[in-house]
Amino acid sequence: MTPKIRVEKLQEGLLAKRFGKRILFCHEVGSTNDWAKELSKLGAVEGTVAVVEVQTAGHGRLGRKWVSPEGGLWFSVILRPRQHPLEAAGLVFVAGLAAADVLHDVYGLVVETKWPNDVLASGRKLCGILCEMSTTGEKVGFAVIGIGVNVNFEVKEVFPKSLASTATSVKDELGRAIRLEELLRALLERLESVYDLLSERGLPAVIEKWKKYASFLGQKIEVTSVNEKSRGLALDVDGDGALLLKLDDGTVKRVHVGDVSLRRE
Ligand code: BT5
């Protein structure tokens, strides 16, 4: 099966009403999030999608590098949220829930969500999410949801060794390749419906559903924030998206930003 995206198939059968009505495709860009931000500034409407086969400067949070070779699905969706910026910051959970639902319901993968922005399979990172926003005062001008899924390659063949031990791909998990356009279509449909859930019922309703994949809850974890490490029990993720961590001294800390790793003792 060709790892390439068949442009003429990108909108075939798409049931979403807004997401993916306009799709911009290109073989290679630096980052689809950067491309989508430029398009947003030029007035691109909600639901516009930027998708590529290769990113040469894909990035994660805090400027970290996101490795994006051919065979993966690298795309960004432009949104014009009406929510307050604090609630729109929860878009990462919208994307995480949509990705977990599709990978599980459509492709039968056993997946888990890891706070705040990862989808894992077999304990390894399968999908990463980067949400970025432009705000003026209390208003969101635009938001961009960027999603990267490792799909039709084996990670040990294309990733550096250090990454191959922490990452996985659909092909590694299923033992076969899938159609990139079909995955994109399913993701756009699911993203639109979870985004509608956010608008109609608010972030707590999205997080409740996201938590059914969150198997790190109830486990001993370590959270690394900017320059601080905390250890404790992952108690819950509250309706604002903050992680509640019961520290070893018994106090409960609300963490807003950070990276979670499971604690091996
Ligand atoms: C993320 O950041 O997980 C967000 C990744 C978002 C990527 C999408 S692709 C489309 C759009 N355009 C972009 O430029 N970005 C978005 P973070 O939680 O900071 O994790 C980054 C870390 O994940 C890196 O430091 C590596 O350890 C690891 N990593 C890098 N590439 C990976 C990959 N392809 N698969 C699994 N892990 C990876």
Burial class (CB in 10 A: 0-12, 13-18, 19+), 176: exposed
User: How many angstroms separate the alpha carbon of residue 166 from the centre of ligand 1?
Assistant: 12
pLDDT of residue 265: 59
Residue whose CA lies nearest to ligand 1 atom number 34: 67
Distance in angstroms (rounded) separating the CA atoms of residues 222 and 216: 11
pLDDT digits (tens, 9 = 90+) for 160-203: 999 999 999 999 999 999 999 999 999 999 999 999 999 999 99
pLDDT of residue 256: 92
Cα 206 → chain centroid: 14
Distance in angstroms (rounded) separating the CA atoms of residues 16 and 19: 6
Distance in angstroms (rounded) separating the CA atoms of residues 65 and 57: 7
Burial class (CB in 10 A: 0-12, 13-18, 19+), 101: buried
User: How many angstroms separate the alpha carbon of residue 67 from the centre of ligand 1?
Assistant: 7
For a pocket test of ligand 1, which of 66, 79, 153, 180 has the largest count of ligand atoms closer than 8 A to its C-beta? Answer: 66
User: How many angstroms separate the alpha carbon of residue 59 from the centre of ligand 1?
Assistant: 6
CB atoms within 10 A of CB 241: 21
Cβ neighbours for 145, distance < 8 A, ≥ 6 positions apart: 76, 77, 79, 91, 94, 95, 129, 131, 191
pLDDT of residue 1: 54
User: Do residues 128 and 60 lie in contact, with contact meaning Cβ atoms separated by under 8 Å?
Assistant: yes
Residue whose CA lies nearest to ligand 1 atom number 25: 64
Give me the sign of the Cα torsion angle 223, 229, 234, 238.
Answer: negative
Atom of ligand 1 nearest to the CA of 57: 14
Tens of pLDDT along the chain (265 residues) come to 556 899 889 999 999 999 999 999 999 999 999 999 999 999 999 999 999 999 999 999 989 999 999 999 999 999 999 999 989 989 999 999 999 999 999 999 999 999 999 999 999 999 999 999 999 989 999 999 999 999 999 999 999 999 999 999 999 999 999 999 999 999 999 999 999 999 999 999 999 999 999 999 999 999 998 888 999 999 999 999 999 999 989 999 999 999 999 876 5
Atom of ligand 1 nearest to the CA of 64: 25
pLDDT of residue 2: 55
DSSP letters of 11-39?
Answer: TTT---SSTTSSEEEEEEES-HHHHHHHH
Residue whose CA lies nearest to ligand 1 atom number 3: 128
Residue 264 in tokens: 């091996």
Please state the pTM of the whole predicted model.
Answer: 0.97
pLDDT of residue 3: 63
Distance in angstroms (rounded) separating the CA atoms of residues 40 and 77: 10
Q: Is 125 in the pocket of ligand 1 (CB under 6 A)?
A: yes
Atom of ligand 1 nearest to the CA of 75: 10
Q: Is 116 in the pocket of ligand 1 (CB under 6 A)?
A: no
Atom of ligand 1 nearest to the CA of 125: 36
Residue whose CA lies nearest to ligand 1 atom number 28: 66
Instruction: Quote the radius of gyration of the chain (alpha carbons, Å).
Output: 18
Residue whose CA lies nearest to ligand 1 atom number 16: 146
Atom of ligand 1 nearest to the CA of 33: 12
Residue 148 in tokens: 């990267």
Instruction: Tell me if the bond preceding 81 is cis, omega within 30° of 0.
Output: no
